[in-house]
């Protein structure tokens, strides 16, 4: 929200300078994003009247002008051809500064002394909005009655700093100059001067000019209309143009500018219709019919649906309610009769339509935050008054007010003692009453309590705590006395679950993996990548886009996208992990949110490396019962993937990305992906960490090569070996798998390395031999395996 300091002072008169106003506004809780001074680079430029023009003696294209600049005459040489005797022009005197850092000094042009320069609008940094003719190629010609010797800046509207405020989300009243002026008046304890809104009616009856019906009262809680007849379209006066430009609004004409001016001034959006184009003299506030179209003032065509509110006449839509008017009924150069609309449309409906069509405006921004219905009649009357004054029209008697819903003021009773206790200060009741009244909250004390009437515009104030905040921000936060913190000192810490998740992360980082963090939002394409049905996903009601319209059910899709991005950037390797939540719908109940771990890698890794990371995670969590079985999702390689089990229950998968999927993602190397449900692992049986003394006796190692069927999984074989090897088995590893002669075509040889250790003695061959025999017997019986010769 931008406004000039001069405009603020129209309603909150004070002698403070710009810097002091900014400091005070920030101190009472209003964020000032920036300050611009459009005239700061312009100094030493005054108005002057040309009294004589002669030809330059040595240059055909130059003229020598004599100018009266108020008490003295200056001689200036110019090449401009649009100057004439009697013209009042901007004169940059010796030592003046212009836009762009240009400095003017006396000089000689072809031997003739020139004591300055005549200025164009461009050299002053202004446009036609600041002063008519400022964009013309040549010297800016001012009105003939402009006094000479005057500073040019107030004449062209660049004499006041422009402040840019960022209104808080719960302060829609500060989306207006009057709302901000109310804050200034509170800060300086000056009265707030309201603009005149009384309107002189000129006869007739508005009901003979227009009728209004609201067919969607749940979306339009108030609709007011007035009619002004016999206006003349012309440029707005300088005071209005300059104020609009300070707010970033381009002046158009006196009628349209009035609607924009009052929207900025009061925060009430208005719209002006050309009355002759309202068919059947009817205004109907209704939802659009599916397929209806409208051309808005941005000259674009839009197709509407039945969720959009429109302002229609007897034939078709004429405006998009709360957002923008239509081209067909807008104000034109030959407009004579004007219909003024002042309405209150609901925030949700305006926001939805604006986002759906991609159309935003100053009006929609205010409706989205909420408009005070109490301001509507004031704005409507002020618009009629200004249009009659500036356009020379007549206000038709009467106004139309449909669905005149006006929320009442809230009344709060507060205890001053509790407010003091909450704030940690000691203020007497009279001072609190004074501060709240300064904030335009009607307050009086009765029976030791504060009785406060809160207008609907300040609906951010709902109770005693809000009143305490209002009192303190105006009293001054710097006045809160310093005090030591009191109370017990508590030592914070992470929960056991958080510690376990952090331990997993630290382990994977130590293994050389990098943490990834993807959006929880995903889309149908990502679901299709991992073979999931997007119809089963949790859908967002108001998504940012289709690719972010669903809540993820796995981490794998995001990690595959990360691998594809690394491959596209020609990275030779990538090792990534992500710990995050997935969202599982549960019918009408809130979704279940589970912690998952995802792994993804390519370049210098294989299936067994990823599996080893998974094993390490399990060891870090102290989980028992880990096992692997062939299988996994269809988008993994069918022969290089496995399901991860905990105590027989499936909790995840690990495997190589299917070549077709990898190719579609632009990944040319073998890529590996794994994912497990950490919730299931955290819920599984935890093995406590135990410590034992360093062994006193050496271990005894044996290598066994067993021949078995080529399709026999090794995991069950290893489990059988552990059971048969006895309690003194210390380690068991696979170190070789062989296929080929002299083995049969359907056979393979798997070599295992085993080590035993006894805490009480050194094991001998006689101790080991029975355990080896038990192993061979168990493997032969269960898997048909034999010792390789």
Q: What is the pLDDT of residues 428-478, one digit of tens each?
A: 999 999 999 999 999 999 999 999 999 999 989 999 999 999 999 999 988
Comparing CA positions, the residue from 424, 416, 418, 425 lying closest to residue 443 is 416
pLDDT at 189 over 80: yes
What pLDDT shows up at residue 323? 95
What pLDDT shows up at residue 612? 93
What pLDDT shows up at residue 531? 78
Q: For residues 86 and 84, what is the distance between their CA atoms, to the nearest angstrom?
A: 6
The separation between CA 788 and the C-alpha centre of its own chain, rounded to angstroms, equals 68
The separation between CA 87 and the C-alpha centre of its own chain, rounded to angstroms, equals 52
Question: Phi-psi region for residue 534, left (φ > 0), alpha (ψ -120 to 50) or beta?
Answer: alpha
Mean pLDDT calculated for residue range 383-409: 91
pLDDT confidence tier of residue 683, bands split at 50, 70 and 90: low
Task: Work out the angle at residue 774's Cα, subtended by the Cα atoms of residues 773 and 780, and round it to the nearest 5 degrees.
Answer: 90
What pLDDT shows up at residue 684? 60
Mean pLDDT calculated for residue range 258-272: 97
pLDDT confidence tier of residue 685, bands split at 50, 70 and 90: low
Task: Work out the angle at residue 544's Cα, subtended by the Cα atoms of residues 543 and 550, and round it to the nearest 5 degrees.
Answer: 45
- % of the chain with per-residue pLDDT over 70: 99
Q: Which residue has the higher pLDDT, 617 or 534?
A: 617
The rounded radius of gyration (Å) of the Cα atoms in the chain is 40
Mean pLDDT calculated for residue range 264-291: 95
Q: For residues 648 and 664, what is the distance between their CA atoms, to the nearest angstrom?
A: 34
C-alpha neighbours within 13 Å on the C-beta side of residue 481: 8
Mean pLDDT calculated for residue range 542-560: 90
Q: Mind listing the pLDDT tens digit for each residue in 155-182?
A: 999 999 999 999 998 999 999 999 999 9
pLDDT at 316 over 90: yes
Mean pLDDT calculated for residue range 56-73: 92
Cross-sheet strand order for the sheet of 211-214: 211-214, 282-287, 309-312, 317-320, 324-325
pLDDT at 578 over 70: yes
Both tokens of 528, joined, read 């299709």
DSSP-derived letter for residue 687 is P
Are 706 and 717 spatial neighbours (Cβ–Cβ below 8 Å)?
yes
Computed over every residue of the chain, the mean pLDDT equals: 93
pLDDT confidence tier of residue 502, bands split at 50, 70 and 90: very high
Both tokens of 162, joined, read 């422009």
What pLDDT shows up at residue 490? 81
What angle do the packed helices 177-188 and 18-27 form, to 10 degrees?
A: 90
Element (H, E) at 362: helix 362-369
* Burial of 273: CB neighbours in 10 Å, binned 0-12, 13-18, 19+: buried
pLDDT at 533 over 90: no
Mean pLDDT calculated for residue range 264-293: 95
β-partners of residue 443 are: 452
Mean pLDDT calculated for residue range 776-782: 95
pLDDT at 263 over 90: yes
Terminal C-alpha separation, the chain: 88
Q: Mind listing the pLDDT tens digit for each residue in 114-139?
A: 999 999 999 999 999 999 999 888 99
Place of tokens 């809780």: 29
Q: Is 617 helix (H, G, I), strand (E, B) or coil?
A: helix
- % of the chain with per-residue pLDDT over 90: 81
pLDDT at 680 over 80: no
The separation between CA 77 and the C-alpha centre of its own chain, rounded to angstroms, equals 54
Cα-flanking dihedrals φ and ψ of residue 618, to 5°? -65, -45
pLDDT at 415 over 70: yes
Comparing CA positions, the residue from 419, 559, 410, 577 lying closest to residue 501 is 577
Q: Mind listing the pLDDT tens digit for each residue in 692-745?
A: 888 899 999 999 999 999 989 888 899 999 999 999 999 999 999 999 999 999
* Burial of 666: CB neighbours in 10 Å, binned 0-12, 13-18, 19+: exposed
| Whether the predicted model's global pTM rises above the 0.85 cut | no
For residue 29, whether the previous peptide bond is cis, meaning omega lies within 30 degrees of 0, is: no
What pLDDT shows up at residue 687? 72
Mean pLDDT calculated for residue range 332-361: 95
Q: For residues 7 and 17, what is the distance between their CA atoms, to the nearest angstrom?
A: 13
Both tokens of 768, joined, read 């080991």
The separation between CA 377 and the C-alpha centre of its own chain, rounded to angstroms, equals 33
Q: Mind listing the pLDDT tens digit for each residue in 81-105?
A: 999 999 999 999 999 999 888 999 9
């Amino acid at each position: 929200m931008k406004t000039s300091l001069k405009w603020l002072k129209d309603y909150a008169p004070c002698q403070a300078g710009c810097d002091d106003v900014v400091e005070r506004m920030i101190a009472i809780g209003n964020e000032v994003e920036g300050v611009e001074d459009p005239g700061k680079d312009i100094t030493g430029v005054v108005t002057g009247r040309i009294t004589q023009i002669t030809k330059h003696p040595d240059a055909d294209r130059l003229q020598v002008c004599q100018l009266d600049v108020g008490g003295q005459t200056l001689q200036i040489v110019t090449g401009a051809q649009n100057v004439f005797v009697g013209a009042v022009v901007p004169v940059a005197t010796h030592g003046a500064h212009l836009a762009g850092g240009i400095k003017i000094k006396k000089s000689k042009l072809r031997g003739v002394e020139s004591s300055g320069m005549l200025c164009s609008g461009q050299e002053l940094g202004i446009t036609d909005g600041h002063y008519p003719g400022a964009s013309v190629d040549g010297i800016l010609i001012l009105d003939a009655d402009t006094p000479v010797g005057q500073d040019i800046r107030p004449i062209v509207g660049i004499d006041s700093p422009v402040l840019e405020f960022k209104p808080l989300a719960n302060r829609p009243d500060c989306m207006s100059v009057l709302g901000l002026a109310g804050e200034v008046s509170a800060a300086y304890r000056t009265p707030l001067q309201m603009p005149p809104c009384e309107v002189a009616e000129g006869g007739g009856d508005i009901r003979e000019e227009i009728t209004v019906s609201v067919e969607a009262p749940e979306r339009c809680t108030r609709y007011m209309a007035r009619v002004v007849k016999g206006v003349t379209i012309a440029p707005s006066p300088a005071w209005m143009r300059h104020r609009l430009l300070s707010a970033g609004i381009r002046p158009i004409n006196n009628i349209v500018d009035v609607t924009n001016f009052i929207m900025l001034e009061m925060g009430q959006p208005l719209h002006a219709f050309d009355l002759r184009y309202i068919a059947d003299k009817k205004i109907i506030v209704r939802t659009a019919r599916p397929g209806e179209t409208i051309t808005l003032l941005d000259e674009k065509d839009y197709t509407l649906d039945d969720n959009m509110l429109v302002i229609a006449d007897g034939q078709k839509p004429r405006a998009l309610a709360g957002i923008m008017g239509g081209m067909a009924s807008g104000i034109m150069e030959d407009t004579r009769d004007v219909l003024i609309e002042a309405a209150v449309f609901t925030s949700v409906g305006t926001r939805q339509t604006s986002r759906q069509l991609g159309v935003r405006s100053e009006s929609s921004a205010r409706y989205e935050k909420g408009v005070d219905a109490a301001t509507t009649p004031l704005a409507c009357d002020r618009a009629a008054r200004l249009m009659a004054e500036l356009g020379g029209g007549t206000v038709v008697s009467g106004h139309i007010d449909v669905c005149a819903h006006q929320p009442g003021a809230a009344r709060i009773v507060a205890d001053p003692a509790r407010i003091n206790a909450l704030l940690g200060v000691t203020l007497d009741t009279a001072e609190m009453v004074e501060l709240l009244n300064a904030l335009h909250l009607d307050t009086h004390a009765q029976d030791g309590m504060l009785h406060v009437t809160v207008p609907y515009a300040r609906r951010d104030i709902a109770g005693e705590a809000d009143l305490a905040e209002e009192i303190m921000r105006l009293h001054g936060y710097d006045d809160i006395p310093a005090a030591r913190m009191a109370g017990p000192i508590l030592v914070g810490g992470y929960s056991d679950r958080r510690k376990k998740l952090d331990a997993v992360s630290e382990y994977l980082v130590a293994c050389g993996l990098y943490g990834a963090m993807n959006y929880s939002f995903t889309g149908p394409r990502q679901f299709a990548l991992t073979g999931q049905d997007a119809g089963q996903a949790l859908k967002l009601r108001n998504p940012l886009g289709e690719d972010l319209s669903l809540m993820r059910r796995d981490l794998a899709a995001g990690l595959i996208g990360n691998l594809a991005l690394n491959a596209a950037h020609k990275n030779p390797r990538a090792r990534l992990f992500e710990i995050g939540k997935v969202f599982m719908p549960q019918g009408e109940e809130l979704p279940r949110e589970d912690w998952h771990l995802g792994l993804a890698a390519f370049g210098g890794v294989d299936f067994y490396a990823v599996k080893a990371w998974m094993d390490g995670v399990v060891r870090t969590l102290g989980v028992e019962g880990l096992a692997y079985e062939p299988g996994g999702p269809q988008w993994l390689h069918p022969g290089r993937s496995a399901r991860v089990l905990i105590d027989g229950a499936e909790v995840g998968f690990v495997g190589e990305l299917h070549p077709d999927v990898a190719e579609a993602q632009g990944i040319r190397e073998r890529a590996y992906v794994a994912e497990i449900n950490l919730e299931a692992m955290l819920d599984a049986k935890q093995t406590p960490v135990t410590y034992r003394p360093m062994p006193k006796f050496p271990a005894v190692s044996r290598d066994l090569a067993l021949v078995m069927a080529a399709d026999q999984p090794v995991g069950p074989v290893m489990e059988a070996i552990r059971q048969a090897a006895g309690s003194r088995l210390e380690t068991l590893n696979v170190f070789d798998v062989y296929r080929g002669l002299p083995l049969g075509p359907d056979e393979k040889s798997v070599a295992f390395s085993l080590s035993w250790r006894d805490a009480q003695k050194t094991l001998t061959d006689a101790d080991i031999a029975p355990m080896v025999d038990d192993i061979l017997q168990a493997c032969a019986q269960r898997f048909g395996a034999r010792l390789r010769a």
